[in-house]
Chains A and B, each alone.
Chain A
Amino acid sequence: MSALSLSTPILRIKALNLHFDEGRIKALNGVDLDVREGEFVSIAGPSGSGKSSLLNVIGTLDAPTSGELVFRDQPYSKIGDASLFRRENIGFIFQAFYLIPTLSALDNVIVPTIGCDGTADEYKAHAEALLTQLGLRDRLHHFPGKLSGGERQRVAIARSLINRPRMILADEPTGSLDSANAAQVLDILTGIVKEQGLTLIMVTHDATVSARSDRIIRMRDGKIEQGASA
């Protein structure tokens, strides 16, 4: 990765607030954060500190109460179609995998392409390639119930990549895995992210995981704690 791309911000966040219950709950309370293109940022912090809330706002799943967000040169306030923005730019990975139990691994990966303009063959080939890259070549037609936790999360990673996003948002992706599986999933995810030059923002409680990131952000009470960095 070049020094130039690392220096270009992909995401700029200023004075971000996300309030619930008419301001009684301040899930995000004045967050400032810049993320560079290709950077791997990990977010740590106690439960309820606003980590998921921050990812949701970055991923346009929640609209902020106030504050400024800019993705590359586009202010979030100018995004007309949030789901189109997500489809083109963002890949989500969740702690609980959230695979669809009645679909095969391959079909689960293809789900985000439903309603897109490409051909079925094209998506199928891409999904197979991604699953192969994630070491699931012989699991294409397995259903989630027949996969281990690590395998399921790898299917979810493939799913997050199918629409060729620029930025991956992962909310405790290894939180449901044992340490061996966690390490393997993390290796694979960071490998792909680096290879494709993607930006990765990951919430994690696991110090060995955050140790591998470019930068660790610590949150508390809806704010980013100062002075923490890897």
Chain B
Amino acid sequence: MNLFRFALDNLYRRPARTGLTVSAIALGIAAVVALTSIAWGFEASWQKANDARGTDLIVTKMTSENTMPSPFKAEKVQQTLAGLPHVKEVVGLLSEMLTVSNDAPPVFVFGWVYGSYLWEHLKLVDGRWPASREEPVVVIGALAAEMLHKKTGDQVEIEGRVFQVAGIFESSAVVENGALLMTLDMAQQVTDKPGKVNVLNIKMDADATEADLRSIKEQVKQTLPGFVAITSGELVSKNAVVRISKAMSNATILIAGLVGALVVFNTMLMSINERTREIGILLALGWQRGTIIKLIVSEAVILSVAGGVVGIVMGVGIAWGLEHIELMRGKIDAIFSMPFFFAVMGLSVLLGICGGFYPAFKAARSLPSAALRYE
């Protein structure tokens, strides 16, 4: 018999209330886990796509904070950039979210400069790559193939135009796996944006340094008004969807933390009011006030930690479920890590302590004689 076992026993005594409290905390924690893992995963998968492509710097319109930066005429900017020191390749990229099948949600359609370095990181698993700049074919990501029920040789209709599936590829980034890919020229034609790109990707030569990157950023700022050169990480963290999903996950953390603490607070307050006389007895038996505080806070923390564990399991389940529903497939890739789980458990412990603190002090302050007389 020790303090911990006594605390557990007190919770077992009220199984319904304990269960409800744990469930309420678990729901909050589950929301935190699901949303946070998706928000971070979203950022990470875009970053991964950019990193996998081997892009060092991305040049976009300054105002671009949409999911995809707004398109601009590429030619002049491209020429300027290509003339800068240590720049090896400058390639344009056009990206749109388009409906390609009536019974599937919209997917990303990318147009990449034919023959550019962008294509190099993809792995062809079936069929072939486009054979020329003007060939009306697409290659599709493995996940998109599965979602659209398409295979090599099938046809897809994009913006009223029919394309043949030339092949299927795999990428380490989920956003690319869920996308359709064609040459930039075809993408400009089909979206009616001749000569335009969303972003220009810069690949530096092998002996470029951090300082060279910085100097290019500076030169873009000075010679190309309205444009910025940023790293893929900077682009992704500026992205509106990434920012909204992160803000939502932060708000969820705040709300779940507050609601969880309030639930614990309410439960523990009820619990100590019910046990007024018992607390008087414990004090009469020589319990220190500090021991009463430890008991009540322990009970609160046991509740919140149990809620945290259940919540993590639920949250991982929810994130997994969201990844696999049709609408979201290929667009999110929740990430989980040990530090993340530790942080969530830390949040649980914290809300237990916060919620249990006042009830614990209230219990410890009670006058033993009054508590004993209490009916």
A residues sitting closer than 8 Å to B (CB atoms) are: 56, 59, 61-62, 81, 83-84, 86-88, 90, 92, 94, 98, 100, 102-103, 106-107, 110-112, 114-115, 120, 123-124, 159-160, 163
Contact = CB atoms under 8 A, between A and B. Distances in A.
B2 interface: yes
16 contacts: A61-B367, A83-B286, A83-B289, A84-B288, A87-B286, A92-B284, A102-B9, A102-B10, A103-B6, A107-B1, A111-B1, A111-B285, A114-B3, A115-B3, A120-B1, A123-B1
B1 A102 contact: no
Interface stretch (B167-175, B201-209, B275-283): B275-283
A114 B287 contact: yes
Nearest to B10: A102
A83 B277 CA distance: 16
Contact of A62 (B12, B282, B291, B369): B369
A114 B284 contact: no
B288 A115 contact: yes
Interface residues of B, number: 27
Contacts of B282: 111
A61 B368 contact: yes
Given A83-B286, A102-B13, A114 B1 contact: yes
A80 to B, nearest CB: 12
B9 A112 contact: no
B9 A90 contact: no
Given A61-B369, A163-B286, A114 B2 contact: yes
A115 B285 contact: no
A112 B369 contact: no
B290 interface: yes
Given A61-B372, A100-B278, A120-B1, A115 B287 contact: yes
Contacts of B48: none
Given A103-B9, A159-B285, A115 B372 contact: no
B297 to A, nearest CB: 13
Contacts of A120: 1-2
Given A61-B368, A61-B372, A102-B13, A110 B287 contact: no
Contact of B287 (A102, A112, A160): A112
B285 A112 contact: yes
A92 B306 CA distance: 36
A107 B6 CA distance: 9
A97 to B, nearest CB: 10
Contacts of B291: 114-115
**Most-contacted residue by chain B among A81, A115, A124 (CB, 10 A):** A115
A158 B283 CA distance: 17
Interface string B1-35: 11100100110110000000000000000000000
B294 interface: yes
B84 to A, nearest CB: 72
Contact of B284 (A86, A102, A124): A86
Interface in B274-317: 277-278, 281-291, 294-295
A120 B289 CA distance: 21
**Most-contacted residue by chain B among A62, A84, A100 (CB, 10 A):** A100
A125 to B, nearest CB: 13
Given A61-B368, A111-B6, A103 B288 contact: no
A112 B2 CA distance: 10
Nearest to A100: B278
B309 to A, nearest CB: 24
Nearest to B284: A92
Contacts of B295: 114
Interface in B250-289: 277-278, 281-289
A115 B294 contact: yes
Contact of A102 (B2, B12, B368): B12
Contact of B286 (A56, A90, A94, A106): A90
Contacts of A110: 1
A103 to B, nearest CB: 6
A56 B369 contact: yes
Given A102-B12, A103-B9, 14 more contacts: A56-B369, A61-B283, A61-B367, A83-B288, A86-B286, A87-B288, A98-B281, A100-B278, A102-B13, A111-B285, A112-B285, A114-B2, A114-B287, A114-B295
A81 B287 CA distance: 11
A111 B282 CA distance: 8
**Most-contacted residue by chain A among B6, B277, B284, B368 (CB, 10 A):** B284
Nearest to A163: B286
Contacts of B368: 61
A59 B287 contact: no
Contacts of A123: 1
A63 to B, nearest CB: 9
Contacts of A111: 1, 6, 282, 285
Nearest to A114: B3
Contacts of A106: 1
